[in-house]
Amino acid sequence: MEPTDLRYHQEHEWIRVEGKLATLGISNFAQDALGDIVFIDMPKAGTMVTAGQQIGEVESTKTTSSIYTPVSGKVAKTNAELKDHPELVNADPYGKGWIAVIELSSPKEVDALMTAAQYESFLASQKE
Amino acid sequence: MSGHIVILGSGPGGYVAAIRAAQLGARVTVIERDAVGGVCLNCGCIPSKALLSVVELGDKAKKAADLGLLLEGSVGYDLTRMVARKNKIVDGLVKGIGTLFKTWSIEVLQGTGQLIDSRSVKVVKRDGSETTVTGDAIVIATGSSWPNLPLFPVDGKQIMTSKDALDADRAPATLLIVGGGVEGCEFAALFSGMGTGVVMVEMMPRILPLEDEEISAMMSRELTKRGVTTHVGTTVEKVERLDGSVKALLKNGMSVETEQVLVSVGRGLNSKGIGLEKVGVAVGARGEIVVDARMETNVAGIYAIGDVVGKAMLAHVASAQGKIAVENILGHRREIDYRVVPAGIFTLPEIGRVGLTEQQAREEARGRGDNPETAVKVGRFRYAGLGKAQGTGDTAGLFKIIADAGSGRLRGAHILGAHATDLIHELALAMEARLTVSQITDMIHAHPTFAEGILEAAEDVNGMAIHLARKQSR
């Protein structure tokens, strides 16, 4: 079950909105598909990003995959813990494995993102 | 033809030339002012690899618990012992060259040589005595050295060259490396592995500016993984020696304070003070001795090889040039060809390359009037896709093959990852023999090996790699 307080993106990122700030990470499905994560290339704080844009990369022992932002705004901060402990994304993708916080410039973009239930059916449809 | 060849310098150019000349029947005298083997053997290639191999092992040992290997305590380094081991290896190899020289009856004169005419070299020996050697031909193989840059007052302690760094007795807490080229990146890998906080400054917009852009970006990431901070597109404007640290001011306005500074920029060519002007040997603007494809200078009978001719400054190129020079002297006409020069960068992980970068290949296609996008094809395969790499845990890396779309012939190849410097030779040989991508894929590659990455990347040139997911046509 995906956490219901988050919104999801078809590229398997999630965001948690608190006021003007959106915390971003990758979903449990994504971390599981990637396998052991060894490095996360994160955007620099202060970078302006646009919804749909690639903002970083996740490298695992299997592959390297892009991180897309589902929302626009300014990167407020990134998870410094991941520098030394990228495996946190595997262990706790919705908690300690968060990747970045984005200061939303168009909060309305959030409405277009999937709810937990919608994301679950999206995942189910992907499997078929 | 026999005869007497006098060789000035015994680095990887000079000593190889000496042995080849002796094999072909010449009498050979080698003049060396320092140690036989030159920079490569004594304070370059071999020493750095001896130290890097320990850090490579340490990197793996740090993952021991994950691998199920039980090691007590934490991984640490005793640099004094590492350097002692390195010195022993170097001594052994230097002695080995001495033994080879003996078996070929090659005479070694320890001292500083200077040309006095087109056939004679005056040698000032270490004890101050002088002697003159006259031969039928002279080969200049004096190499290159660490430049004296006024901006960086090297004291061997706070501000070092790579030569000093190879004899360091402990790893500094923090180190600024000036120059993100081959040497800078290798030392960044070495010291970061030993726990040093490394900051690297590169003038060009990217580290390893001569490498394929994709490979250089990957190495940048690998260094970030090791905790190295890199500043590109800027230079060090000023260094200030403080008590126990050095403060560097960068052009971009930043200031970096570290315990030590390693200067890894440029090499000076050793063409001064060896009597070139006296005998009229032509020298270019950078101080390089001008030679033809037979390695002969403008003065008949005087040849020059290695770093001092200012081509690819690589030990193996010097060796190749050395053989060409003496073979020509001894009546075997041969010309040097720089079309296929494999090179290795001994970072962690390594880089191997041969031929053109993707950018150069596309630029070349454009120059021919072809469409640079379609005239060049690129095949890629990641180490992570190899069973062998999964087994050994060396999953970081990429095989990249650049081919001419029309002929299928290789234009270049680049490998970043475990054993890349060895693996590149299959592709170098393929280029040397002017093979096509399909000739590589026709050959059965053994499983499970890293070399399978070459097969897969070659197949990917035509979108046919077995272990790559079907590409979506967009």
Whole-complex ipTM: 0.76
Give the three-class secondary structure for B279.
Answer: helix
One domain for residues B8 and B115: yes
Q: Which of B4, B419, B447, B467 is catalytic?
A: B447
- For tokens 């002012």, the residue is B33
Residue B157 has pLDDT above 90, yes or no: yes
B353 in the same domain as B313: no
pLDDT score recorded for residue B37: 92
Q: What 3-state DSSP class applies to B221?
A: helix
Is B414 a known active-site residue? Answer: no
**In terms of domains, do B304 and B197 share one?**
no
- CA–CA separation, B291 vs B281, rounded Å? 10
Which token pair is B336?
């040097």
pLDDT for B195 equals: 97
In this structure, are B19 and B141 located in the same domain?
yes
B227/chain A closest Cα distance in angstroms: 8
Determine how many CB atoms are found less than 10 A away from the CB of residue B275. Answer: 18
| One domain, residues B10 and B71 | yes
Cβ distance of B225 and A63 shorter than 8 Å: no
List, as one string, the DSSP characters of B287-323. Answer: SPBP--TTSB-SSTTEEE-GGGGTSS--HHHHHHHHH
Where do the domains of chain A lie?
7-106
Assess if residue B343 is contained within a domain: no
CATH number, residue B283: 3.50.50.60
What are the tens digits of pLDDT across the range A56-77? Answer: 999 998 888 999 999 999 999 9
Beta-sheet strand order (sheet of B159-160): B159-160, B260-263, B174-178, B197-202, B229-232
CB contact under 8 Å between B225 and A41, yes or no, is no
Q: Shortest CA distance to B135 belongs to which of B334, B299, B2?
A: B2
Helix (H) / strand (E) element for B131: namely strand B130-134
Average pLDDT value for residue range B416-434:
98
Q: Which residue has the tokens 């070349």?
A: B364
In a domain, B11, yes or no: yes
For B13, the 3-state DSSP assignment is coil
Q: Which helix (H) or strand (E) holds B351?
A: strand B351-355
What proportion of chain B, given as a percentage, has pLDDT over 90? 93
> Per the structure, how many domains does chain B have?
3
Does the pLDDT of residue B474 top 50, yes or no? no
SS3 of B405, please?
coil
Containing structural domain, residue B176: 159-263
Task: Kindly report which listed range (A60-64, B5-9, B257-261) carries the lowest average pLDDT score.
Answer: A60-64
- Mean pLDDT along residues B265-279: 93
> Left (φ > 0), alpha (ψ -120 to 50) or beta: where does B79 sit?
alpha
Residue B148 has pLDDT above 90, yes or no: no
> Collapsing DSSP states into helix, strand and coil, what is residue B80?
helix
**Each residue of B162-211: pLDDT tens digit?**
999 999 999 999 999 999 999 999 999 999 999 999 999 999 999 999 99
Summarize the confidence of residues B133-138 as an average pLDDT: 97
Q: How far is CA B123 from the centre of its chain?
A: 30
Average pLDDT over all residues of chain B: 95
Residue B372 is classified by DSSP as: T
Q: Which fold has domain A7-106?
A: OB fold (Dihydrolipoamide Acetyltransferase, E2P) (2.40.50)
Is B466 inside any structural domain?
no
The string of pLDDT tens digits covering residues B200-256 is 999 999 999 999 999 999 999 999 999 999 999 999 999 999 999 999 999 999 999
State whether B94 and B24 are in the same domain.
yes
Where residue A127 falls among pLDDT bands split at 50, 70, 90? confident
Please identify among residues 27-86 of chain A the ones whose CB lies closer than 8 Å to any CB of chain B: 38-39, 41, 59-64, 83
Residue B340 belongs to a domain: no
Q: Please check the confidence at residue B1 and state whether its pLDDT lies above 60.
A: no
Query: Do the Cβ atoms of B225 and A39 come within 8 Å?
Result: yes
Sequence-separated (6 or more) residues with CB below 8 Å from residue B288: B269, B271, B308, B309, B310
Last residue of a domain, one of B214, B239, B263: B263
**pLDDT for res B472:** 56
A/B interface, count of CB pairs below 8 Å: 22
B366-386 pLDDT, tens digit per residue, is: 999 999 999 999 999 999 999
B274 and B376 together in one domain = no
Please enumerate in sequence order all residues whose Cβ is within 8 A of that of A2, keeping only pairs 6 or more positions apart, or say none.
A8, A14, A27, A28, A116, A119, A120
Q: What's at B462, amino acid-wise?
A: N
Closest chain A CA to residue B220: A41
Q: Are B176 and B262 in contact (CB under 8 A)?
A: yes
Could you write out the three-class secondary structure of chain A?
CCCCCCEECCCCEEEEEECCEEEEEECHHHHHHHCCEEEEECCCCCCEECCCCEEEEEEECCCEEEEECCCCEEEEEECCHHHHCCCHHHHCCCCCCCCEEEEECCHHHHHHCECHHHHHHHHHHHHC
State which residue of chain A sits closest to B381, comparing Cα positions.
A63
Chain B contact set for A83 (CB, 8 A): 227
